[in-house]
Amino acid sequence: MPSRAFVSGVAAVALMALPCPVFAAGPIVFRDKTAATGIDFRHTTGGSGRKYMAETVASGLATFDYDGDGRLDLYLLSGVPLEGAPSDPRAGSRLYRNVGDWQFADTTVAAGLDQRGYALGVAVGDYDADGWPDVYTNDFGPNTLHRNNGDGTFTDVTAAAGVARGEALGAGANFLDIDGDGVLDLFVANYVDFRYDTHRTSLVAGRPDYARPREFAPRANRLFRGTGQGRFDDVSAAAGIAAHAGAGMGSVCFDADGDGRTDIFLCNDQRFDFLFHNEGDGSFRESALAAGVACNVLGAPTASMGVDAGDYDNDGRIDLVVTPYFNELPVLHHALGGGQFEDVAARAGLGVRAVAAVKWGVALVDLDNDGHRDIVITCGRIYEPAAGERSAWPPVLFRNLGNGRFANVSDQAGDLSACSGVARGLACDDLDGDGRVDLVILNRDGPATVLRNESPAANHWVGVRLRGKRAAADGTGARITVVAGDLVQVAEVHSGRGYQSHFGAWPHFGLGTHDRIDRIEVRWAGGTTDVVGDVPVDRLVTIVEGTGPTDTAGSTERGQP
Amino acid sequence: MRRARTPQRRSGSAATRPNGGWVPLAVAAVAVSVIAGILVERLTRPAADPAGGRGGATPVAIDWPEPVTLSADEVTREGRELAERLVAEFPDLARAQTASGRLCALFGAPLEARQRWERSVALDPRQAEAWLGLAESAHADGDYPAVIDRLDRLTAVDEALARRQLPLRVESRVRMGDAPGALADLAALAPAGELPGWALVLRGEAQMQQGDHAAAAESYRLAVDDPQQASVARYGLAQCLARLGRTEEAAREREAYTRIEEENLRAFDQRQRDREAAPEDPAPRVRVLAGYHTEVGSLFAKRGRWEDAERHWRRACSLAPDMPEPRRFLESLTRR
């Protein structure tokens, strides 16, 4: 039965629609707004010169609306002094409230997020389904879960939730709904088995430097199942996650094979990447090699750092882009269907001028609203530079040409190429609500970089914010299909992506010259489907699960109530 | 991208990651091989005597310099200093710019190397070594279209040298997604059955890019017995078989690949440990440096700057006492 479109599910319109003339797509242009934002954050690795392994992998960041004002705020992770380093009272992660007009206020202390952990990765999700996004940070040492109180403050509920997990050197983290019950679960990645008592260095170019990751034993990762009562049970062993040790870094949870269940992809440094396939019975099967995502096209287990999941070629399947080490091409795992992938990075043009730097943060986002997702990659060195080498690198921007290929336009993107840093995390979101996705880069031992997207505003767009009722309250795991004429795009709501970061929880769709959306279809993580039709463009729309007349023909029953 | 996949790219790795180091090493390996070839050719041919001496019939008494040994840091420093001296003394001499660029590349200054080569070809577009250096530099940057352009320039001035860079050309074409170009280059090299392993795996990858998984599988299958290419060939073959729906065969190839790759990683780890235990032997680079001192001495000699020439030839003799050319030049100079 054909779906009956409805518009009453469009419950909120956050932005005014602007009459936009139709132009051909212009260039992608960024302007460095850092100095004007009031953001005085400075990341630290807390190093003492002893070259602890933790310093190499710090840190990610998050963009999310913590106070519900419709503006996306920033949470910038940092290390703190490690053993042997002098104390630094300013060191630590910082929360910046977006107060509009490109001004950000440091609300870390007022919000109760002035933790002193060595923060490496972050995921945001509404674990208690109260409508307010909560924050989990994956640290070197005990991890933390902060519950959003809904009044601009957070409470550390780590102990009550049972998700601290001790001494590990953490990496990425993701909220996900493994069984479609509407209660968020939590995947926590670990890097190698580094501790102070396992510390060592390596000789690099004849000098003591950070140890190579393969000098340390691999570590297994953790999976926690949400109980729905504010606690999580560690199901790592029972779910089959603990059986696989690696050197985890960035991670993303997505539906790899279109079976409606959320799988887990994890980058591993110098080891085969993992794809934990959700078997639907609470267990996961590691299947990366068979799926074609364990390594690159050369069969090389790359030094994978970050990963994003998105449909780059609008074929309705979610692809993966992975950022590896220098002298390695980015990896673009093109989804073939049936859970199979093929690395097509070279064919897609991702090899061009993207191998010289170590690559970290990554995002598949439409930066020019032409309906085709572009790729941004942050870069930065790990080891001490030798004479003639450099530590700081500008980001790399690949513009999607819409024909399966990308063009490296890094040097034609305004201030982008001037923003060199020893970058790690990257977050991409529309910070000023103008319909263009902006960038925030976290630089190791340096200030953050905020880049405003000032590309010509010729194309149309729509942002989609989900409100689950029986599915996850923040829509995590939902798949959104936007149909505008002959342009059909899909995206999923991810919690945790890129390099140990979190962004894009309100999926953004460029629409090109299409000035109406025929329909938006949401397949919630529990399996139900909502369809809204005839949606206006150039705004953020909120779709509430099951609101108004909905056509769920063809969908499965909801999962556990 | 990774490991040695072509004959030039099998040199020992100083990379800190198993898959991270082969391109600069490939460049270095190519550079060393080219330089070695050039030096051997120059130092063994009956060269015109830059000292202008009267042949070698009459023995002469020479106060030969004492041999010296340099540490890795010292040879690097001296190589960089020599590179700077070259361009300071001969700012408008293309050959000096080329040599300076090569010294910069060999001794850890890749950006300066590129600048010197660019200056060299601006002064004299017939500088083949400079075009090659620029191609290698572009490859290290991942600027594959520029690699092809510079190799084309090289072909125009030194076809034989350009022919020896076919792996670099084909690999660059594959990395930039130019499958037709890569396949055309390989077809001109040899029939498929006669291609070496490195060419077969690149052929397979190009065929995969064209969506011809059956042909790619055949290319990979031809390469699986080449020990240097076994891993990539097995993996590529498994991927192609999976695409062709031959899942059981694909699974078998994946298993074979996994065994090879695990062994490769173990070997990589061991190499890293060995390298840490035994730091770099600077002797090969010292010998290259001696060759450059000889060349620089010749440049001075041609300008009648005999004292400078003698100083560089003596330095070459002290660095590589068994190298014949600087000894001959010094003897010749003494006879003048």
Asked if residue B46 has pLDDT above 80, the reply is no
pLDDT at residue number B53: 55
Q: Is the pLDDT of residue B170 over 90?
A: yes
Instruction: Outline where chain B has alpha helix (H).
Output: 22-44, 72-89, 94-106, 110-123, 128-140, 144-157, 159-163, 166-175, 179-189, 197-209, 213-223, 230-243, 247-277, 283-302, 306-319, 324-335
pLDDT bucket at A5, cuts 50 / 70 / 90: very low
Average pLDDT over residues A18-43: 77
Output the DSSP codes for A238-304: TTT-TT-EE-EEEEEEE-SSSSSS-EEEEEEBTS--EEEEE-SSS-EEE-HHHHT-SS-TTS---B-
> β-strands A359-365, A508-512: how paired?
unpaired
* CA pair distance A537, B143, nearest whole angstrom: 39
Other C-beta atoms closer than 10 Å to the C-beta of A109 total 10
Confidence at B45, pLDDT banded by 50, 70, 90: very low
Interface of A with B in 26-45 (CB under 8 A): none
Q: Which residues pair with A94 in a beta bridge?
A: A76
pLDDT over 80 at A22, yes or no: no
SS3 state of residue B15: coil
CA atoms of B328 and B54, how far apart (whole Å): 11
Calculate Rg over the CA atoms of chain A: 21
Helix, strand or coil for residue A490? strand
**DSSP H or E run through A443:** strand A438-443
Q: Which of A141-150, A425-434, B13-22 shows the lowest mean pLDDT across its residues? A: B13-22
| Candidate from B3, B19, B175 with C-beta closest to A303 | B19
Omega within 30 of 0 (cis) for the link into A59: yes
Task: Note the residue count of chain B.
Answer: 336
* Mutate: best of A298, A336, A384, A401, partner B, most B CBs <10 A: A298
Report DSSP letters for B26-70, one per residue. Answer: HHHHHHHHHHHHHHHHHHHS----TT----SSS-----PPPP---
Q: 């009550």: which residue's tokens?
A: A160
The average pLDDT across A502-517 equals 97
Mean pLDDT of B235-248: 97
Of A327, A349, A356, the CB nearest to B1: A327
CA distance A342 to chain B (A): 8
Structure tokens at A182: 């509407």
Interface test with A, best of B6, B17, B170, B202 (most A CBs within 10 A): B17
* Percent of chain B scoring above 90 in pLDDT: 73
Tell me A392's DSSP state.
B
DSSP helix/strand/coil, A18: coil
Strands A232-234 and A245-246: unpaired
- For residue A381, give every residue at least 6 positions away whose Cβ sits within 8 Å of its Cβ, in sequence order, or none: A357, A358, A389, A390, A391, A392, A393, A422
CB of A490 closer than 8 Å to CB of A507? no
HSE of B158, CA atoms in CB hemisphere, 13 A = 17
> Does residue A289 belong to the interface with chain B, where contact is any CB pair within 8 Å?
yes
Cα maximum dimension of chain B = 79
- Give the side-chain half-sphere CA count within 13 A for A456: 12
**pLDDT computed for residue A206 by the predictor:** 74
> For chain B, what is the mean pLDDT?
85
Q: Which two tokens stand for residue B69?
A: 């040994």
Task: Read off the pLDDT band of B62 (50, 70, 90).
Answer: confident
pLDDT of residue B16: 40
Task: List C-alpha distances in Å: A273 to A131, A266, A276, B266.
Answer: 34, 6, 10, 17
According to the model, what pLDDT value does residue A180 have? 95
Q: What is the mean pLDDT of residues A12-17?
A: 28
Chain A residues within an 8 Å CB radius of B5: 298
Q: Inform me whether the C-beta atom of residue A217 falls under 8 Å from chain B C-beta atoms.
A: no
A325 lies within 8 A of chain B by CB: yes
Of A137, A156, A150, nearest in space to A76 by CA = A137
- State the nearest Cα–Cα gap between A439 and chain B, in angstroms: 24
> Is the predicted pLDDT of residue A347 greater than 90, yes or no?
yes
* B245-274: average pLDDT: 94
User: Does A328 touch chain B if contact means CB atoms closer than 8 Å?
Assistant: yes
Instruction: Check residue A278 and give its pLDDT.
Output: 98
Nearest to A348 among B110, B142, B177 (CB): B177
Rg (CA), chain B: 23
**Average pLDDT, stretch B235-243?**
98
Q: Side chain identity at A8, as an amino acid letter?
A: S
At B280 the pLDDT is 78
Q: Are strands A539-544 and A460-467 parallel, antiparallel or unpaired?
A: parallel
DSSP state of B201: H
Angle at A228 between CA A475 and CA A188, to 5 degrees: 70
Taking an 8 Å cut-off on Cβ atoms, the answer to whether B143 and A352 are in contact is yes
- Alpha helices, H only, A95-182: 108-111, 158-161
Nearest CA distance, A304 vs chain B (angstrom): 11
B336 pLDDT higher than 70: no
Residues 6+ apart with CB under 8 A from A24: A458
Could you say which residues from 391 to 450 on chain A have a Cβ atom under 8 Å away from some Cβ of chain B? Answer: 405
List the single best residue of B6, B9, B11, B19 to mutate versus A (max A Cβ within 10 A): B19
Instruction: Give per-residue pLDDT as tens, A64-118.
Output: 999 999 999 999 999 999 999 999 999 999 999 999 999 999 999 999 999 889 9
What's the CA gap between A107 and A147, in Å, rounded? 16
Q: Which of A541, A525, A521, A527 is nearest to A478 (CA)?
A: A525
User: What amino acid is encoded at B41 in this protein?
Assistant: E
* Structure confidence at residue A166 as a pLDDT band (50, 70, 90): confident
Residue with tokens 């910069």: B104
Average pLDDT over residues A416-433: 97
Amino acid B81: pLDDT: 96
Q: How many CB atoms lie within 10 A of CB B264?
A: 18
* DSSP at A386: P
Q: How distant is the alpha carbon of residue A405 from its chain centre?
A: 23
Q: What confidence score (pLDDT) does residue A255 get?
A: 98
Number of CB atoms found within 10 A of residue B55's CB: 9
- Rounded to the nearest integer, the mean pLDDT of chain A is 92
- What ipTM was reported for this prediction? 0.90
- The whole-angstrom distance between B52's CA and the closest CA on chain A is 39
pLDDT category at A451 given cuts 50, 70, 90 is very high
As given in the structure block, the two tokens for residue B185 are 């280059």
| Cα A358 to Cα A191: distance, rounded to the nearest angstrom | 17
Q: Which two tokens mark A557?
A: 């029953």
Cα(B251)–Cα(B232) distance, integer angstroms: 15
Segment A471-493, tens digit of pLDDT:
999 999 999 999 999 999 999 99
Helix (H) or strand (E) holding A96: strand A94-100
Per-residue confidence band for A12, with pLDDT thresholds at 50, 70 and 90: very low
3-state secondary structure A187-238: EEEECCCCCHHHCCEEEECCEEEECCHHHCCCEECEEEEECCCCCEEECCCC
Task: Calculate ∠ Cα B124-B128-B134, nearest 5°.
Answer: 90
- Averaged pLDDT for residues B50-57: 56
Minimal Cβ distance to B272: which of A212, A303, A355:
A212
A227 closest CA partner among A128, A145, A126: A128
**pLDDT value at position B21?**
31
Summarize pLDDT for B312-334 with one digit per residue, the tens: 999 999 999 999 999 999 998 88
Q: Is B180 exposed, middle or buried (0-12, 13-18, 19+ CB in 10 A)?
A: exposed
Which residue does chain A place closest to B113, by CA atoms? A388
- Chain A residues inside the 8 Å CB shell of B23: 327, 355
In one letter, which amino acid is B333?
A: L
